[in-house]
A and B are shown apart, each in its own frame.
Chain A
C-alpha cells in the first residue's frame, strides 16, 4: 500500500566514457514529464550494481563483453520513447559498435568516439524492459529493497517525502506549535459539540478555529513574564461552531429542532435518515468557516464600506443559518459567555499527539510536489496581527463586566486576512468529505481531530488504525499491511494531503491516553460530521 506504484522503463548498456553524452542525448531528445519526478532513480548502474535478477536476465540475452568494466547501464525512464528512435539515439554510444567491413574490431574501448562514427551501429543497442518504482522511497529499507529487486534508487530523507507526506521539518514545527494546546482546543471543540447536542439544534460535533500566530504571541509574552498562559489560550480562538443540522426550516416547515423542542439530544440523531440531516453547510466545520467570513463582512460594513453593495441578489439567498449559540457568539464577538457556557474547565491532561503524517495517504498518484502547496511557503505576507485585546475578554472569573466586546482577533481583509489561511481547525470528529474539501478550499494550515472521533464517512483518515501504534516506518508498513488484510470497508481519502488538489493542510489525529479501540463506539450511528 505504500509506494507500490511501478512503471515501465528501459535499460541499455552503453560505453562508460560516453555517459555524460548519453544523458545529454536522452534529456534533449525525450523531454521529462515534470509531474513525474524520478530523481530517486539512479541514472546509471554499473553491472555489479544491477539487481541480481535483472543482471541475470541481461547476461542470458547477450554475451558478456570482453571488458565489462568499460560499460555502464543507463536507465531510460518514462515517458518512454519509441524503441527505434531510442536505439538510433543510443547507437553511437554502444559498448561495441558494430563492426563495419572497413573497421577492425576494436580491441579496446579507448576510442569510442571514433568507432561510434561507424555507419551501421544500430543493432548493438540492446534494450531491456524493467519495472521501476515511480515514487521515491520512504526510508532506507525501502530504498535497499528496490535497489535489490527493481533498479538502484537513492533515498533522500527529506525531499521525496514531501510528494506524499509533509516535509518532516514542517511537520515537526507544526506539531510542536500545536501540541501544547491541542488538548485544550480539542476539549473546547468537545464543549461546543455538547452545546450543539444539548440545544437540540444539531449532532454533537464541534469546531474551533485557532490562529497559531496569536498562540505564539501569548506564549512569548508569557515566557517573558514568566507566568502560566493557560488562561489566555482562548484569545487565539477566532471562532467556534457547533453542528446545526436540525436547525433549518425547509419549505417553511418546522425544523427538526422545532419539532422536538426541549428534547435533547434531538431524537433525529438516533439514526441516519438523510431526509432530516440538514446538509453539510450546517456541519460544524462549514459553519465555523462561515462565521469567520461573516465576521469579516460585518466588519467591512462597520468600517464604512458602502452598504449598498451588500444587497442580496435574488440568485444568492442567504443560507439559512441559525442564531449563534452562547459559545459561538462569545468567541466570534467576544461577548461574555452566558451562564450555560462556562468553559473555564481545566485543559485536558497532556496526551500524545501521535506522530501521524497520513504519509501513505495517496500512494497511487502522489508523485510530485507543487511548491505552491508547500505549507512552509507563506502564501501571504500579512502585517502582524493587531495588539492583544483588553483583558476584559478573560473568561470565567473576570470581575470586570465587559460592556463593550473586545476586538476579535480575526484579521480583516485590510490586515491580510484571507479565507482561513494560516489558521488551524480543531474538530470533535473527523469531518465528512464535503467539509474536508471545504477545509482545503478555506486554506487552513492544519486540521486536528481526536482519533476516537474517526468516522466511516470521514474524508481525512488515510489508513486503518493499527495497534499498537508504530513509530518506526517499517513497523508501520507491516502493521498497515495486516490492517488492510482486515478488509476495512470505509474509504481512506486522506484528502488533506493530496497533490492533485491545489491546497494541502497538515492533518493530526489526537490520541488520548487510554484510547484503546476506537472502533468500539458501536452505539453511535454513522453520520456525516
Chain B
C-alpha cells in the first residue's frame, strides 16, 4: 500500500502523525543531524519521539559520532521509560525515511505493529529498499509497511541536509556550487543517506 500524494490520506490521522515525524526531522536538520524524524504511536498517543543522533555534535567539533543512534532507537528508548517492551506490539512507527536494515531488524525484534514511512531508502532500506526484513521469515513475526506518506516533504528535508558540507566527515567534500533541487520527477529516486 502506498500513499502517493493522496491528500485525503495525508489529512488523516496517519498524516497528522507523519507531520509530527517531519517536525522531528526538521529539528534534526536544525541541529546538524541527518534529518530523519519519527514518532511512536500507542493508543493514538505519541509515546516516543526520535531524531537521528549519529553526529551528536552540533557545535562540538570533536565529539564522537556514533553511527548506530538512529531516530528509531531514540524513540524506542523514550517509549520504554513509560511503557513495557510488550507495548510495542500495539504501537505504530511513523518515520520520515524508510528504516535502515539495522532499524528494520530492531523493529522486528521489538515486534512493532506497523511502520509508515515517507520516502524510500534505496541505500540502506531494510523494509523494501535493499532488504525486506519486515517480511522475511525469522523468529519474530512480520510487520506491515506503508510507504509514500508525505514523501516529498521527507525528500526535501534530506536534500536540504545533503546540500550542506559535512565537516565531521574525515574528508569533507566541498559543495559550494550545489543548488537545492526542488523539482520532483516521476518516480525519481529519493536522495540517499
Binding site for B on A (CB under 8 A): 248, 250-253, 272, 274-281, 286, 289-290, 292-293, 296-297, 300, 303, 305-306, 309-310, 315-320, 379-381, 412-414, 416-419, 421, 432-435, 437-438, 441-443, 456-457, 459, 489, 491, 493, 495, 498, 500-502, 526-528
Contact = CB atoms under 8 A, between A and B. Distances in A.
B131 interface: yes
A296 B65 CA distance: 9
Interface string B133-157: 1001111100000000000000000
Interface of B: 24, 27, 49-51, 53, 56, 58-60, 62-69, 73-74, 76-78, 80-86, 100-103, 105-106, 109-111, 123-124, 126, 130-131, 133, 136-140, 170-171
A290 to B, nearest CB: 7
Given A435-B102, A528-B109, 9 more contacts: A250-B81, A300-B63, A300-B64, A315-B49, A316-B69, A419-B65, A441-B67, A442-B66, A495-B101
Contact of B64 (A275, A278, A297, A317): A297
Contacts of B133: 433
Nearest to A498: B130
A275 B90 CA distance: 12
A306 B58 CA distance: 12
Contact of A432 (B84, B109, B126): B109
Nearest to B123: A502
B102 A437 contact: yes
B109 A380 contact: no
Given A275-B85, A379-B170, A434-B102, A320 B80 contact: yes
B66 A309 contact: no
Contacts of A286: 68
Contacts of A275: 84-86
Contact of B101 (A296, A413, A437): A437
A122 to B, nearest CB: 34
A419 B130 contact: no
B106 to A, nearest CB: 5
Nearest to B103: A434
B136 A491 contact: yes
13 contacts: A253-B84, A275-B84, A275-B86, A293-B66, A297-B64, A315-B78, A316-B53, A433-B102, A434-B102, A434-B106, A434-B109, A457-B139, A493-B131
B81 A317 contact: yes
B138 A491 contact: yes
A448 B108 CA distance: 25
Which of B76, B77, B84, B109 neighbours the largest number of chain A CB atoms within 10 Å of its CB?
B109
B105 A300 contact: no
Contacts of B73: 281, 319
